[in-house]
Structure formats: C-alpha cells, structure tokens
Amino acid sequence: MFLRKPAPIGLGLTSLHILDEPLIVALPNNHPLAEQAEPIHLLDLEPHDFVLYRRLAGQDLFDNILASCYQAGFSPKIVQEAPRLTSSLNLIAAGIGLSIVPEAIRDFWNKQIVYKALKANNPCIAPIYAVYKENIDNVRLQHILKLLQ
C-alpha cells in the first residue's frame, strides 16, 4: 500500500520512503497568476481563495499543504473543500479558487486548469511511502521493495 505518511507505530507495519513528490499550484486558466512564466512564490497565494481536498479524505496531503502555507507565513483562505482531489479540480476549473496539488495531477483538465511550479523557502513536497507488514517472508514483496529502493 502507498501512503503519504510512514506506517503507524505498533501495528506490525513498516514503511519505505519512495519519493518526495513536488507540490504545484492549480489555477483556473483565467486566473491572474496563470500568465506568470516563472514559478509562483507560495506567499503570493495568500490573498487568493483556496479549494482543498477534504481533510477527512486525505489528511496527510491536506496537512502537508497547510504546513507549507504556515511555513511561508500565512493561513490559506479555504472557500471550498471537495470530497475527492478530482472534485477539487472541477471546482478550480469553474473558477471557485486555486489549489496546491501533487505534481502527478498535472495532466488533468489540461484546458481549463493551468499548473505552475511553486517557489518557497522550504520545499513544498508530498512524500510517498510504501507500507507493508513487518517480517513477512514474501518473495514478490521483496522483489517489489528491491525495485523501489
């Protein structure tokens, strides 16, 4: 299983850090920042309305986005939370607000949403971990873990 945080302690699970996925800005194509050629400074997002993936559905990503904003010196003005990441993209495309999303989302909604790199003092990332049972003697799992390392 792949998660955005390490395995909880005491459940007989272990985790392997796979990668740190960059976070990017998703903007409606008519947003003033959409024309900016260079990466967008995270602090420049402060006055804008945010659409975020609901915390209950994606606690780790939600917390990671908020932490990045707090480290930049602001609390995002969340005007709408969506039950799924793809639902938040629909709201962004409709012009409700902007969002910070994992880079893997970049290929969704190519015409109505513009994706821009983020620039901040601290890296804006969403880690990904492989989480699996400890001490399991499974050849397939060992091969997969070897490939991931």
Boundaries of domain holding 108: 21-125
The neighbour count for residue 58, using CB atoms within 10 Å, is 20
Q: Is residue 113 part of a domain?
A: yes
Report the Cα 65 to chain-centroid distance in Å: 7
The pTM (predicted TM-score) of the whole model is 0.85
pLDDT attached to residue 1? 75
Q: Is residue 41 part of a domain?
A: yes
Tell me: the pLDDT tens digits for 82-112? 988 888 999 999 999 999 999 988 887 678 9
Domain CATH code at residue 94 = 3.40.190.10
Contacts of 20 (CB under 8 A, 6+ apart): 123, 125, 126, 127, 128
Task: Give the count of domains, the chain.
Answer: 1
Listed residue (61, 69, 72) closest to 20, CA to CA: 61
Phi, psi of 65 (to 5 degrees): -65, -45
